Amino acid sequence: MNSKTLSGDAIRRFENAADYRKRFVIKEQIDKYFPNGKHFVNEAEIFSTLDTAKKKTANDPVRIREILAKSRRIETLQLDETADLLQVTDPDLLAEMGETALAIKKSVYDNRIVMFAPLYMSNLCVNRCTYCGFRCENDQQKRRMLSMDEVKQEIEVLAGKIGHKRLIAVYGEHPETSTDYIAETIQTAYRHIVESPKGTPVGIRRVNVNAAPLPIEDLRVLKKVGIGTFQVFQETYHRETYEKLHPAGTVKGDYNWRTTCFHRALEAGVDDVGLGVLYGLYDWQFEMLALLSHTHDLEKQFGIGPHTISMPRLEPASGTDLPETSPYLINDEIFKRIVLITRLSVPYTGIIVTCRERPESRNACIQYGITQMDASSNIAIKGYSDFESEGHQEKDRQQFVLSDTRTLEQMIAYLGKKDIITSFCTAGYRCGRTGGCIMDALKTGKEGKFCKINAVLTFREWLDDFASADTKAICEPVINRELAEIEKNLPLFSKTVKEHYDRICNGERDLFF
Ligand code: SAM
Ligand code: SF4
């Protein structure tokens, strides 16, 4: 089957379909998460906390060091603590905050960056988000949804030629591409095992999903087919701005339905959830405290905070000028500050910075404790199999424009030169180390040990299957140093690790702890 291309009318036809909206905005699956009828984002409290922090003496080293000590204990910060960090301007204190952020990242996640790739399955969308190239009234966008054969073709490039093991599958919101389609594409991606250039079997081992909020029953379906992280960006937590940018009458126009999407996911057993704000839509300091309130509420109601926090920033997109005209756009300095203070505020969480960012900005963020990056990314629908040259972009087939077009190999070599190991580990989720279980393991440093071992094993696989001689030369010392550290610091595991490692060197694949 070829991918389906729909006309503008066919897309818009669903816009006001009352049935579709009714099925997807279920009042009982919203209200139950607001005990006492109160929303967990308390705007008045956030504004007053920010006001108080601005009036205090900024740069008070005693107060700031107390807060940093709490972050080092891997405890989530309170709103007033994060608000105080936001006011720091003193270069020495800022440097101390940076060192602490990196030290926390190392203690929780060790010296590694996990790599993934986005796979856009469909750009059909019934919504009208004013900043997005996929919004239904944008006639400049060529619409299509991948058929299962096309999903396989994309996997052949992603897994077979580039060497990715972990995807974020991305979907517009549309009845044609809802839960059944999401489930089928996930299963197709998992089942399609292909050959690497060296003839070894390779495939996708973890499929995370970035899609619209779903009802509990639908999330159970995704849980059954092995969804990794369920990622939904709130875009903005500021209700008035949210309602302005997401018109009433659209499914996405319901603020409460979106803000409770992770409550439903956790109730459905999808316990790795990925939060995010689209920075540039509203005041960044407000957004940071609101995202922290969201984190507190998930911790309080489910004992599980965000598995990841993503840092998307508004980028140019077809048919909209908001990414150039929004009064809330942030510069690189502020972006780095957001990454740094997120690391300090929610110390156990994974932090994702994607190819939306320019290379210099992404490189700098590595120093502030990010844990996941994508590379060789192509976000055009069917972009991987249609365009041979990596880095090729088609504005009318993609949601926005990417700024970092480095290949996976270039990225790995860059990290290798900085002594950082690239990981393709997907073992946590396959061994049941998710949700509350992984949260405890991360806070106590146990997960870091498994991660270190699995990073070495999966990096060995990638180097043997995909790396050029030059990249290997850069990365062998990194992997050898990691092996030596395992031998020294994890003596109980060291013998089995060495056995697994040797088996991988001899061509076996997918061995993990
Ligand atoms: N359609 C679903 C939704 O909106 O939740 C799935 C995600 S959408 C395809 C992926 C994300 O891309 C959105 O949540 C939004 O944060 C981000 N996005 C949209 N337009 C963007 C732009 N111009 N620049 C950067 N990110 C953008
Ligand atoms: Fe559709 Fe998502 Fe884009 Fe909004 S952000 S228009 S819901 S794809």
- CA 481, distance to chain mean position in Å, is 28
The pairing of beta strand 112-122 with beta strand 372-374:
parallel
How close is the Cα of 123 to the center of ligand 2, in Å? 8
Q: Which of 263, 208, 213, 206 shows the shortest CA–CA distance to 234?
A: 213
Dihedral Cα 140, 145, 147, 151, nearest 10 deg: 90
Residue 223 CB burial class (10 angstroms; 0-12, 13-18, ≥19): middle
Question: What are the start-end ranges of the H helices in 367-445?
Answer: 383-386, 408-417, 427-430, 435-443
Report CA Rg, the chain: 22
Question: What are the start-end ranges of the H helices in 268-320?
Answer: 284-302
Integer Cα distance of 375 and 391 in angstroms? 10
> Which ligand ends up closest to the CA of 235?
1
Is residue 216 within 8 A of residue 267, CB to CB? The reply is yes
Residue 262 Cβ inside 6 Å of ligand 1? The answer reads no
How close is the Cα of 82 to the center of ligand 1, in Å? 26
How close is the Cα of 407 to the center of ligand 1, in Å? 23
How close is the Cα of 497 to the center of ligand 2, in Å? 44
Below-70 pLDDT ranges, the chain = 1-19, 388-391, 395, 397, 428-448
> Which ligand ends up closest to the CA of 329?
1
3-state secondary structure of 207: strand
The encoded tokens of residue 379 equal: 């976000």
How close is the Cα of 432 to the center of ligand 1, in Å? 29
The encoded tokens of residue 463 equal: 């180097």
Integer Cα distance of 483 and 500 in angstroms? 12
> Which ligand ends up closest to the CA of 280?
1
3-state secondary structure of 347: coil
**Pocket mutation for ligand 2, best pick of 14, 129, 232 (most atoms within 8 Å of C-beta):** 129
3-state helix vs strand vs coil in the chain, percent to 5 = 50, 10, 40
3-state secondary structure of 150: helix
pTM over 0.75? The answer is yes
How close is the Cα of 365 to the center of ligand 2, in Å? 26
Per the DSSP assignment, residues forming a β-bridge with 317 are: 320
Smallest CA separation from ligand 1 atom 20, residue:
132
- CA 434, distance to chain mean position in Å, is 15
End-to-end, the C-alpha distance of the chain in Å comes to 39
Residue tagged 């997005």 (tokens): 132
For the stretch 392-432, pLDDT in tens is: 777 676 777 889 999 999 999 999 999 999 999 887 666 66
Integer Cα distance of 162 and 219 in angstroms? 30
> Which of the listed CATH numbers 3.40.718.10, 3.20.20.70, 3.20.20.140, 1.20.1050.10 matches domain 8-34+104-442?
3.20.20.70
Residue 379 Cβ inside 6 Å of ligand 1? The answer reads no
Q: Tell me the C-alpha to C-alpha distance, in Å, between residue 391 and each of 140, 160, 262, 489.
A: 21, 17, 33, 40
For the stretch 212-271, pLDDT in tens is: 999 999 999 999 999 999 999 999 999 999 999 999 888 899 999 999 999 999 999 999
- CA 44, distance to chain mean position in Å, is 29
Cβ count within 10 A of residue 360: 11
Q: Residue type at 405? A: T
Q: Which of 84-108 are b and which e, b meaning 16 or more Cβ less than 10 Å from the residue's Cβ? A: bbbbbeeeebbebbbebbbebbeeb
Q: What is the pLDDT of residue 2?
A: 43
Cβ count within 10 A of residue 57: 7
